[in-house]
Amino acid sequence: MRLARPLENLIDELMKLPTIGPKTAQRLALYILRAPASDARQLAHAITEAKEKIAPCSNCGYLTDIDPCFLCLDNKRNSSVLCIAEEAADIIAIEKTGFNGRYFVINKDFNIMNDSDLEDLNLDKFKEKLASGIVQEVVLALNPDIEGEILGRYLAGIAGEYNIKVTRLAHGLPVGGDIEFADEITLRRAIEGRHEF
Amino acid sequence: MRLARPLENLIDELMKLPTIGPKTAQRLALYILRAPASDARQLAHAITEAKEKIAPCSNCGYLTDIDPCFLCLDNKRNSSVLCIAEEAADIIAIEKTGFNGRYFVINKDFNIMNDSDLEDLNLDKFKEKLASGIVQEVVLALNPDIEGEILGRYLAGIAGEYNIKVTRLAHGLPVGGDIEFADEITLRRAIEGRHEF
């Protein structure tokens, strides 16, 4: 079936997004074409604007449109507990549990097959925080998979150099799962049950 | 949890799309933020361009970037059979079965609760085709629900004024379902088994 080229192009672009297959992409594209022109403009604008205005916080790596981000600016938080996570989506999920420490986001896909990935991680800010003398506990909030395990050992090694206690989220998270999709109660229990690494 | 305003805005816009809930919208938004800037630009551009360049064909109502559309321009098609459908997505599905007649797309949501909807349908081109003397059969390819039933009776009434045979797709489509999501074999059988309305 031949489709109008701009329609085919839109379907192709939508299919690049996670969880969007060909059928869903076609459905979304046709919906966009039927919707008012202002809706399409707003969606296109929201994509461009978010991409332009949002960047990782220079202090913690969380995605923000102000720098430092509101999490870093919040002086009611407990700076002695530093939670380290792989991506901003994990922070969003952890914040919902009421956790009130500080964060550090790695913001980089770590591939177990690639040895140099660990060395390529930008951990300068993380080490700076450890060296400050304020942090008394590092909480590893890494996904419960092989990559998270290796990453955890690597980060625990660094924290060990500063003699800082390292904990990890309690088991209870389904192995192979993704922190960002855990329900709040499971994730809260995992935070409460964190133990020495 | 407070999110950066442009991120929240992007999530809100994505949630306006069908089948996209809050979790998926957040996942898509964060994916867009992590992807290369060129990907986001291309997606935004594809949305704007599709919306600007694509419009219903002035002859049959199918979505097209040239007017008349390639379906109307194709002179190998059988003009004596006119298939009428509710939206372009249905034509895309029907084309995959190898149907080779002509089309007419209604392009308007018909709501059974609103009496004036039937009169508001723009059927001038449809009546013009019926009056041309070329069409010998009108195939109603309407969704198998109450709206489709009422719409079908209304359209059959109009075709009857021109003494043109009216057929409908054979049952086999799940009641309450959507033509655009039927698999090709089911839909092909439904076309082969069409019968007098």
Mean pLDDT (whole number) for B87-94: 90
From chain A, the residues in CB contact with B44 under 8 A are 44-45, 47-48
Q: Class of the A5-53 domain?
A: mainly alpha
Pick from A36-50, A161-175, B135-149, B173-187: least confident: B173-187
Query: Over 90: is that where the pLDDT of B1 sits?
Result: no
Instruction: List the single best residue of A12, A17, A20, A108 to mutate versus B (max B Cβ within 10 A).
Output: A17
Annotated domain spans of chain B: 5-53, 56-196
* CA nearest to B51, candidates A89, A17, A10, A65: A10
Distance (Å, rounded) from C-alpha A22 to C-alpha A16? 10
Looking only at the bridges linking them, the beta strands covering B195-196 and B165-168 are antiparallel
Q: Give the pLDDT confidence of B114-141 residue by residue, as tens digits.
A: 767 788 888 999 999 999 999 999 999 9
Q: Of B183 and A163, which is predicted with more confidence? A: A163
Determine, for residues B7 and A63 on separate chains, whether the beta-carbon distance falls below 8 Å.
yes
Dig out the tokens for A193 from the structure. 């049950």
Report the SS3 class of residue B12.
helix
Q: What percent of chain A has pLDDT over 70?
A: 93
Looking only at the bridges linking them, the beta strands covering A55-56 and A63-64 are antiparallel
Instruction: List the single best residue of B5, B8, B11, B17 to mutate versus A (max A Cβ within 10 A).
Output: B17
Q: Give the pLDDT confidence of B154-191 residue by residue, as tens digits.
A: 999 999 999 999 998 876 666 677 777 777 777 777 77
Q: Of A96 and A179, which is predicted with more confidence? A: A96
Q: Give the pLDDT confidence of B59-89 residue by residue, as tens digits.
A: 999 999 999 999 999 999 999 999 999 999 8
* Residue B179: predicted pLDDT: 72
Instruction: Give the gap in angstroms from C-alpha B91 to the nearest C-alpha of chain A.
Output: 10
Per-residue b or e along A69-99, where b marks 16 or more CB atoms closer than 10 Å to that residue's CB? bebbeeeeeeeebbbbbbbbbbbbbbbebeb
Q: Do the domains A56-196 and A5-53 match in fold? A: no
* Position B88, amino acid: A
Give the CATH number of domain A56-196: 3.40.1360.10
A43: closest chain B residue by CA: B13
Mean pLDDT (whole number) for B47-70: 95
B42 — pLDDT class (breaks 50, 70, 90): very high
